[in-house]
Structure 1
Amino acid sequence: MLRYTLMRLGIFVGCLVVVWGLVYSGIAPRGLGRSNGLWIVLLALVISAPISFVALRKERDRASEQIVRRVDRVKANLEASRKAEDGADEAARARGAQQEAEPGEGSAQQPAQGQVQGQAS
């Protein structure tokens, strides 16, 4: 991806130098008033875009394949994390259901104390 970016930047800089030379030699028109620098940059962008599109096709395809692989790897990692979290959640729910099904010592004593208090009054 970095290689593609640097190649595209190189094409732009090359176009910028050529356009700058053409404008200052009088072959290409100058911008209006003080907009000459902006005119040179915009013209270089317009010229470099189609050149990059055609010249860097193979490199762009390689970069997009790398991006697809990274996205697939991240999706797989997210899915694995989601499954692990779901498994832990199911285990916690199963423990909670098991504890509710088995009466504990504290829950058995509370009704007995209530009955004792009711008999005492």
Structure 2
Amino acid sequence: MLRYTLMRLGVFAGCLVVAWGAVYSGIFPRGFGASNLFWIVLLAMILSAPISWVVLRKERERASVQVAGRVERMKANLDANRSQEDATEAHSQAS
């Protein structure tokens, strides 16, 4: 999961550099006044989303498998704890 996040940040950083260059070279329009930085970050986000979707597909699938495995382990642990509590309650009621 950390690997996917770092790769996604890398794609965003690359798009940020490209967006900054495109704005300052006049390919994309500049933002109004002090909003130029916000405009560049917004452009980078818009550019990086589809690129990440396509380029990082395998890594995203790998991360989702890891998350699903963690969820299953947590569910199993909760079920085990519930069954232990039920057994303890049944034992204390029988005494």
Q: TM-score, normalised by structure 1?
A: 0.77
Gaps of 5+ in 1: 96-121
Number of residue pairs aligned between Structure 1 and Structure 2: 95
1:10-21 correspondence runs (5 A): 10-21=10-21
Using the TM superposition, give the Cα deviation of residue 22 of structure 1 relative to its aligned residue in structure 2, in angstroms.
Answer: 1.0
Amino acid at match of 1:27: I
Amino acid at match of 1:85: E
Spell out, residue by residue over 1:78-114, the C-alpha distance to the aligned partner (whole angstroms, 9 max, x if none).
101100110010000000xxxxxxxxxxxxxxxxxxx
1:13-92 correspondence runs (5 A): 13-92=13-92
Q: List structure 1 runs of 4+ shifted beyond 4 angstroms.
A: none
Amino acid at match of 2:42: L
Amino acid at match of 1:9: L
Alpha-carbon separation, structure 2, partners of 1:45 and 1:22: 14
Structure of greater relative contact order (alpha carbons < 8 Å, 6+ residues apart):
2
Q: TM-score, normalised by structure 2?
A: 0.97
The CA RMSD measured in Å over matched residues stands at 0.6
Amino acid at match of 1:33: G
Alpha-carbon separation, structure 1, partners of 2:54 and 2:38: 25
Using the TM superposition, give the Cα deviation of residue 53 of structure 1 relative to its aligned residue in structure 2, in angstroms.
Answer: 0.6
Spell out, residue by residue over 1:56-84, the C-alpha distance to the aligned partner (whole angstroms, 9 max, x if none).
11100000000000000010011011001
Alpha-carbon separation, structure 1, partners of 2:81 and 2:33: 60
Alpha-carbon separation, structure 1, partners of 2:26 and 2:60: 35
Percent of aligned pairs sharing the same letter: 65
